[in-house]
Each structure stands twice: as structure tokens, then as C-alpha cells.
């Protein structure tokens, strides 16, 4: 069994952003040499997310509006009493999830139609990382 680990680093200029990282994950799978296996992709920071969905601009705007309705940035959060201002970002991350697991078949990500991997940033303007862990044969 082969194992390969890579870190992807992101720093957005905005507080919230949604980045399609499918190409970077595909590149890591190619580097790994794994033909049949799994790739785990997870955000290594508590205010960021990794998720799978369609890369369609209207959908990305809908996600942002939906998350802002559920956990508004300007709301009062007990977490913010610690001196932080990102209580909303923690909740948004919880809603969108920490990681994705994708099958690798014949050396490629085994996706359904339109599926892409995204990095969701909810408290940006600083450097954060995503772990890509590939295992298989």
C-alpha cells in the first residue's frame, strides 16, 4: 500500500471565500502514484471547510447567503467574548463540514456528474492549510 501526504496553503483577501481546489487535489493524486484507493482532503483550521458540490457561481452565492442567514457575522456570540470576532466562522465551518473522502479509480478522482472539491474560508486574511492524504495501490 502507498501513502502520500501533501499540504495545500491558502490565504484569501476576504473574510469569506469559496475556492475550487479540484485541480490541486488531482495533482496530488498524480504525484502519489496511487491508481486505486482513497484521498482524504480536510481543512486543518477550525474556521475553514472542505466540501464537494457544483462549481456554479450562483450556487456559491447561494451558499454564502444561506450561511450568513444561519450564522450572521454581526450577531452576538459568546465565543467573541474571548477577544475573537469569528464566532460565526466556527458555526459556518460546522455546517459545511471538515473534510471529504473521494475514491480513486484508475488514477483519477471518481466523481459523480458536476462534483468538484472546494475550500470554504469563513475567517480569511491569514494563512491556513488543507491536508491531502492519499492511500492505496
Show pLDDT as tens, one digit a residue, over the chain (137 residues). 999 999 999 999 999 999 999 999 999 999 999 999 999 999 999 999 999 999 999 999 999 999 999 999 999 999 999 999 999 999 999 999 999 999 999 999 999 999 999 999 999 999 999 999 999 99
The Cα 66–Cα 79 span in angstroms is 21
The whole-number pLDDT of residue 90 equals 98
The whole-number pLDDT of residue 104 equals 98
The whole-number pLDDT of residue 21 equals 98
Q: Which residues pair with 2 in a beta bridge?
A: 136
Number of domains forming the structure of the chain: 1
User: Going by C-beta distance under 8 Å and a sequence separation of 6 or more, which residues neighbour residue 81?
Assistant: none
The Cα 73–Cα 86 span in angstroms is 7
Please report where in the chains the cell 465551518 appears, as a residue.
Answer: 93
The Cα 82–Cα 15 span in angstroms is 19
Q: What is the CATH number of the domain that holds 53?
A: 2.60.120.460
State the sign of the Cα–Cα–Cα–Cα dihedral 91, 93, 96, 101: negative
The Cα 103–Cα 36 span in angstroms is 8
Provide the residue range defining the domain that includes 110: 2-136
Q: H helices then E strands: how many in the chain? A: 3, 8
The whole-number pLDDT of residue 38 equals 99
Q: Name the phi and psi angles at 126, rounded to 5.
A: -155, 160
State in Å, rounded, how far the first CA of the chain is from the last one: 5
Amino acid at each position: 500500500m502507498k501513502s502520500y501526504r501533501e499540504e495545500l496553503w491558502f490565504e484569501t483577501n476576504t473574510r469569506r471565500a469559496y475556492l475550487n481546489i479540484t485541480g490541486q487535489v488531482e495533482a496530488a493524486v498524480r504525484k502519489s502514484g496511487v491508481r486505486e484507493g482513497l484521498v482524504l482532503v480536510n481543512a486543518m483550521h477550525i474556521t475553514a471547510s472542505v466540501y464537494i458540490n457544483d462549481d456554479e457561481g450562483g450556487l456559491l452565492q447561494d451558499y454564502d447567503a444561506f450561511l450568513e442567514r444561519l450564522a450572521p457575522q454581526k450577531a452576538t456570540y459568546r465565543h467573541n467574548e474571548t477577544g475573537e470576532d469569528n464566532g460565526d466562522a466556527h458555526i459556518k465551518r460546522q455546517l459545511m463540514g471538515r473534510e471529504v473522502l473521494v475514491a480513486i479509480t484508475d488514477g483519477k478522482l471518481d466523481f459523480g456528474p458536476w462534483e468538484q472539491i472546494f475550500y470554504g474560508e469563513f475567517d480569511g486574511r491569514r494563512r491556513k492549510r488543507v491536508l491531502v492524504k492519499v492511500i492505496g495501490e
